[in-house]
């Protein structure tokens, strides 16, 4: 079987943040599969087929990619950031587990990328320098009650927290509920970072105390990082630096 399937992370946005390994796979590919805006980041060329699809068809997208790889094609499924962080790698393996037995014999490769969380943290300093967790605030694939439980436990454990998909036009109320919960549990002025479109020309960074955070400060292009009780802000000549000491 000559085909293969790579699930690749395109990084947070800037071209030079795509790894050489991912660039090589894209150059070898016969087919690119992914969410519409991610596929749009791939330059067309002769012999390359682009297969963009909507954001809510992850399993269908995974099955399509696996089927083409089984036919001998060289397929790259593209995600932003890292494919294993709230992205397509898990969807592909879910499809493999439930699919035909021959899919388990495919050459499947996971090609890591720089996540939005890590890119945002690096631009701001080192807010994830000690124990942290990442939580997807979208309730498309899990109930809000589970999101709330995880928020509460993470806050009680005093983790720094990175939030993906905080606020969309179709569900603007979720992030407001999350902020209310965090403000009640944390009950302090720990810093919260709103990092939008990091590494693109639209990049913006904003650090506010948790009590001053408002839902409208975030959208779907924003990664939000809430510090732990030990996270500090250092004022400098340029932007403030945000960091969490590694000591307990």
| Tokens of residue 137, six digits | 């605030």
Model confidence, pTM: 0.91
Q: Which of 182, 172, 176, 183 is nearest to 220 (CA)?
A: 172
The answer to whether 243 and 215 have CB atoms below 8 angstroms apart is no
- The average pLDDT across 97-101 equals 96
> Residue 123: its pLDDT value, please?
95
What is the Cα Rg of the chain in Å?
19
3-state helix, strand, coil in the chain (%, to 5): 35, 25, 40
Predicted confidence (pLDDT) at residue 1 exceeds the cutoff of 60: no
Helix (H, G, I), strand (E, B) or coil at 233: strand
Q: How many CA atoms lie within 13 A of 160 on its CB side?
A: 26
> Residue 55: its pLDDT value, please?
77
Residue spans of the domains in the chain: they are 4-114, 117-243
- The average pLDDT across 208-212 equals 97
The answer to whether 225 and 162 have CB atoms below 8 angstroms apart is yes
Predicted confidence (pLDDT) at residue 110 exceeds the cutoff of 70: yes
Q: What dotted CATH number matches 4-114?
A: 3.40.1010.10
Helix (H, G, I), strand (E, B) or coil at 156: helix
pLDDT, one tens digit per residue, over 15-62 is 999 999 999 999 999 999 999 999 999 999 999 999 999 877 999 999
Query: What pLDDT band is residue 248 in, cutting at 50, 70 and 90?
Result: low
Query: What pLDDT band is residue 246 in, cutting at 50, 70 and 90?
Result: very high
Number of other residues whose CB lies within 10 A of the CB of residue 77:
33
Cα 96–chain centre separation: 22
Taking each helix axis from N to C terminus, what angle separates 144-156 and 173-186, rounded to the nearest 10 degrees? Answer: 30
Write the burial class of residue 160 (CB in 10 Å: 0-12 exposed, 13-18 middle, 19+ buried): buried
pLDDT, one tens digit per residue, over 151-164 is 999 999 999 999 99
Tell the residue number behind the tokens 């991912």, with chain if given.
22
> Residue 173: its pLDDT value, please?
83
CA distance 129 to 143: 30
Predicted confidence (pLDDT) at residue 109 exceeds the cutoff of 70: yes
Pick the CATH number of 117-243 from 3.40.50.620, 3.30.950.10, 3.40.50.1000, 3.40.50.1110: 3.30.950.10
**In the chain, pLDDT over 70 holds for what percent of residues?**
98
Strand 49-53, strand 31-35: pairing? parallel
CA distance 125 to 150: 26
């Amino acid at each position: 079987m000559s085909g293969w399937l790579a699930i690749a992370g395109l990084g947070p946005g800037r071209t030079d943040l795509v790894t050489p390994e991912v660039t090589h796979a894209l150059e070898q590919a016969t087919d690119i599969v992914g969410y519409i805006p991610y596929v749009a980041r791939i330059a067309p060329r002769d012999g390359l087929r682009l297969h963009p699809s909507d954001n809510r068809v992850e399993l269908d997208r995974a099955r399509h990619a696996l089927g083409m790889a089984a036919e001998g094609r060289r397929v790259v499924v593209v995600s932003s950031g890292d494919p294993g962080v709230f992205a397509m790698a898990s969807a592909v393996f879910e499809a493999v587990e439930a699919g035909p037995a021959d899919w388990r014999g495919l050459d499947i490769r996971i090609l890591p990328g720089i996540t939005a969380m890590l890119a945002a943290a690096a631009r701001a300093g080192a807010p994830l320098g000690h124990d942290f967790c990442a939580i997807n605030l979208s309730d498309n694939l899990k109930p809000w009650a589970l999101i709330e439980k995880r928020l509460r436990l993470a806050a009680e454990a005093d983790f720094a927290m990175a939030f993906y998909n905080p606020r969309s036009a179709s569900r603007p109320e979720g992030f407001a509920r999350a902020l209310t919960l965090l403000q009640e549990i944390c009950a302090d002025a720990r810093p919260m970072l709103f990092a939008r479109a990091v590494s693109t020309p639209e990049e913006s960074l904003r650090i506010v105390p948790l009590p001053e955070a408002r839902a409208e400060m975030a959208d779907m292009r924003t990664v939000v990082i809430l510090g732990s009780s030990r996270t500090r802000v250092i004022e400098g000549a340029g932007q403030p630096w945000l960091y969490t000491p590694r000591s307990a």
